[in-house]
Amino acid sequence: MTEHERYLFDLRGYLVVEDALSPDDVAAANDALDRHWDRVIPRAREYSLSGKSTALHGEKGRLECHFNLLSLERPSCEPFRRMLAHPTIIPYLNELLGSGFRLDHGPGLIAMERGCEGHVLHGGGEPYDPSQFYVYKNGRMFNGLTVVSWQLTDVHPGDGGFCCIPGSHKSNCLCPVDIKLYEAHRDCVHQVAAPAGSAVIFTEALTHGTLPWTGQGQRRSILFKYSPGFLAWGGWSPSPDALLNDMTKEQRAMLEPPYRPNRPVVT
């Protein structure tokens, strides 16, 4: 990470890394999703994410897929496997999570069209959660669960989508409910614009959520959630040998279970 990136991540709790994916990688991921789009479904209304918020309400749920993007047949799985241990992202995760970090869960798709609801803001420095935390000690950052959200379409200012309260990963006070519902003090909530090909990296300790989508086209984000190597937020289950044997050693290292000593280190 550059001096500027380190400063900005510590200050705000997130970073936008532009051009992390090449235009060909973005196109390959979008093509793969298009091939499987009949299995991408709106989130059921009974699992609405906008809660009681009128500001985040939408006429439909966001679009999700409930299949493993890493296990799709070739070539559809390839762009997502490249994201899993992407050379652009590895140095950031080594610095933010420590070497030996692992995929905690994902990848997941968040797709949105005009009219899709938002998601109530969640997370924050208080209450302290030892699985999704941010601390700065011994001259470096330590993070729990940390997200890399790959943008497959442009997100312009004002489109909605991912939003956060910059700096809230270090907050000492509980976030009031009406702020989480985006019904008070909206000026502290920042909508994060990012062109296609960007990786938005954020700590889950940041208060964050989703604004209803008002953009022209679709939002398509692929979220990978990583933990330090010794930590699990979401648990772990073994991946089939057929999948592991068909991956690079860097990709396989991401799917290791949580433990501390002698982890495979990816640099």
Ligand X SMILES: O=C(O)CCC(=O)C(=O)O
CB of 175 to ligand X, least distance (A): 14
Torsion sign across C-alpha atoms 228, 13, 149, 165: positive
Type of residue found at 23: P
Q: Quick one: which segment of 20-28, 150-158, 207-215, 231-239 binds ligand X (CB under 6 A)?
A: 207-215
For ligand X, the binding residue among 151, 153, 210, 251 (CB under 6 A) is 210
Nearest CB to ligand X, comparing residues 56 and 247: 56
In this structure, what are the phi and psi dihedrals at residue 175, rounded to the nearest 5 degrees?
-75, 125
For ligand X, the binding residue among 221, 227, 252, 253 (CB under 6 A) is 221
Nearest CB to ligand X, comparing residues 93 and 247: 93
Q: What is the SS3 assignment for 170?
A: helix
CA distances to 52, 62, 125, 230 from 208, rounded to whole Å, are: 17, 16, 11, 25
Nearest CB to ligand X, comparing residues 93 and 147: 147
For ligand X, the binding residue among 58, 98, 125, 209 (CB under 6 A) is 209
Nearest CB to ligand X, comparing residues 80 and 162: 162
For ligand X, the binding residue among 223, 233, 236, 243 (CB under 6 A) is 223
User: Among 24, 44, 41, which residue's Cα sits nearest to residue 32?
Assistant: 24
Burial (Cβ within 10 Å: 0-12, 13-18, ≥19) of residue 102: buried
* Residues 40-99 within binding reach of ligand X (CB under 6 A): none
Nearest CB to ligand X, comparing residues 227 and 252: 227
Tokens of 104: 């905690």
Which string of x and - marks every residue 127-166 that binds ligand X (by CB under 6 A)? --------------------x-x-----------xx----
For ligand X, the binding residue among 12, 102, 119, 252 (CB under 6 A) is 119
Neighbours of 133 (CB within 10 A): 17
CA distance 154 to 140: 32
Q: Quick one: which segment of 5-13, 76-84, 86-94, 208-216 binds ligand X (CB under 6 A)?
A: 208-216
CB of 195 to ligand X, least distance (A): 16
CB of 149 to ligand X, least distance (A): 5
CA distance 97 to 93: 5
Nearest CB to ligand X, comparing residues 219 and 263: 219
CB of 192 to ligand X, least distance (A): 9
Tokens of 63: 């679009």
Dump strand ranges (E) for 57-204.
63-65, 102-112, 119-122, 134-137, 140-143, 146-151, 161-164, 190-191, 199-203
Q: Does 110 bind ligand X (CB under 6 A)?
A: yes
Point out which residues bind ligand X (CB under 6 A): 110, 119, 147, 149, 161-162, 208-210, 221, 223
